[in-house]
Structure 1
């Protein structure tokens, strides 16, 4: 996973997004309610684990791409392991980026 350099601004800009912040949060709730099985901390950051049901991998990849577009300080990696989709996230080692990562981990 490519983690952006510490010089990357810690800012989220949804001005070009096709959804609003409220719609994005609602989408996370739908995805997590449908398929999230676990969340965990890793050496590099965090990991969300989802059931690999039809459409979930594409949904996770699309959501991760849109999140990366508005929050470029995130590094994301999506993998499929057996019956599971894994979304790993990491940020530069700065206090501001780590605080946003904690908020991301707490999404529900």
Structure 2
């Protein structure tokens, strides 16, 4: 059995997500906007680890902190870590347990797809 469900627009949500179904398209749209505006690179250090290289602006950092805090509250299996290695270098590391690799795969695919379209 799959750990995520696919909707007609290609968006996914893990079965364990507690975000109300009616709010999910809004959250997907928020992430899409963030991916299009902020993601500069996508790395996959391991199957359970995704690293998004982000625009280093203060606004991007604020948006990333807000989105990841809200996502963690409904999908507690995500571990997000936002870090700076310099004034213009911001990275968002996303980790999941092995049971949720397919959800991380979908998130990585979405980030690349939206970034490439923007």
The answer to whether the superposition gives a TM-score over 0.5 is: yes
Out of 19, 23, 26, the position equivalent to 1:23 is: 26
For structure 1, which runs of at least 5 residues remain unmatched after alignment? 1-8
Deviation at 1:54, TM superposition (A): 3.2
Aligned length, in residue pairs: 96
Higher strand share: 2
Q: TM-score, normalised by structure 2?
A: 0.72
Structure that is richer in helix per residue: 2
Greater relative contact order, per chain length (Cα 8 Å cut-off, separation 6+): 1
Residue of structure 1 in register with 2:63 after alignment: 59
Instruction: Choose the corresponding residue for 2:95, options 81, 90, 94.
Output: 90
Instruction: Work out whether residues 10 and 71 of structure 1, in 8 Å CA contact, stay in contact via their aligned partners in 2.
Output: no
Runs of 4 or more off by more than 4 Å in structure 1? none
TM-score by length of 1: 0.78
1:1-108 equivalent positions in 2, closer than 5 A: 11-15=16-20, 20-43=23-46, 44-82=48-86, 83-94=88-99, 97-107=100-110, 108=114
Question: What's the secondary structure of 1:98's corresponding residue?
Answer: helix
Deviations along 1:65-108, one digit per CA (max 9) or x if unpaired, are: 111111111111111221122111111122xx111111111123
Aligned Cα root-mean-square deviation (Å) = 2.1
